[in-house]
């Protein structure tokens, strides 16, 4: 069964297929410094919403700092990325280029 959020499969998550030029530029600069960049996977909520941002109107990119560590820092926001925990330096919201932020 391929329905979104089906009980037997749980929610489906999608990667955005289009990022704004500013996000791509910011990500390249961060990666050039040897650091890691991740973006938030978006739960697929329905076909009537923008298929890039799933109705949010924005796409979220986290720029990671130090890591990986075996445990998360109690003083910093962290995220898990195999093989360990990374400190999140900043998370930015970019307007979805597909729906121009309308969702």
pLDDT, tens digit, 9 for 90 and up, residues 31-61:
999 999 998 888 888 888 999 999 999 999 9
By residue range, what is the domain housing residue 65? 19-39+57-95
97 in Cβ contact with 52 (< 8 Å): yes
Residue 11 falls inside a structural domain: no
20-47 b/e (C-beta count within 10 Å ≥ 16 → b):
beebeebbeebeeeebeebbbebeeeee
Does some domain include residue 7? Answer: no
Please report whether residue 101 resides in a domain.
no
Instruction: Give a yes or no: residue 30 inside a domain.
Output: yes
Strand partners, 86: 79
The answer to whether residues 50 and 98 touch, using CB atoms and an 8 Å cutoff, is yes
Q: Which of 33, 50, 44 shows the shortest CA–CA distance to 89?
A: 33
- The answer to whether position 13 is within a domain reads no
pTM comes to 0.81
What rounded mean pLDDT belongs to the chain? 88
Domain annotation covers residue 32: yes
Whether residue 1 is contained in a domain is answered as no
Q: How confident is the model at residue 6 (pLDDT cuts 50, 70, 90)?
A: very low
Residue 67 within a domain: yes
> How many distinct structural domains can be found in the chain?
1
């Amino acid at each position: 069964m391929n329905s979104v959020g089906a009980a037997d499969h749980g929610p489906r998550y999608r990667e955005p297929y289009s990022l704004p030029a500013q996000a791509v530029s910011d990500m390249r600069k961060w990666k050039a410094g040897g650091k890691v960049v991740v973006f938030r996977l978006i739960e697929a909520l329905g076909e009537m919403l923008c298929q890039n941002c799933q109705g949010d109107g924005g796409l979220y990119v986290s720029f990671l700092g130090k890591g990986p560590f075996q445990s998360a820092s109690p003083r910093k926001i962290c995220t898990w990325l195999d093989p360990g925990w990374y400190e999140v330096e900043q998370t930015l919201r970019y307007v979805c280029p597909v729906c121009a932020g309308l969702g």
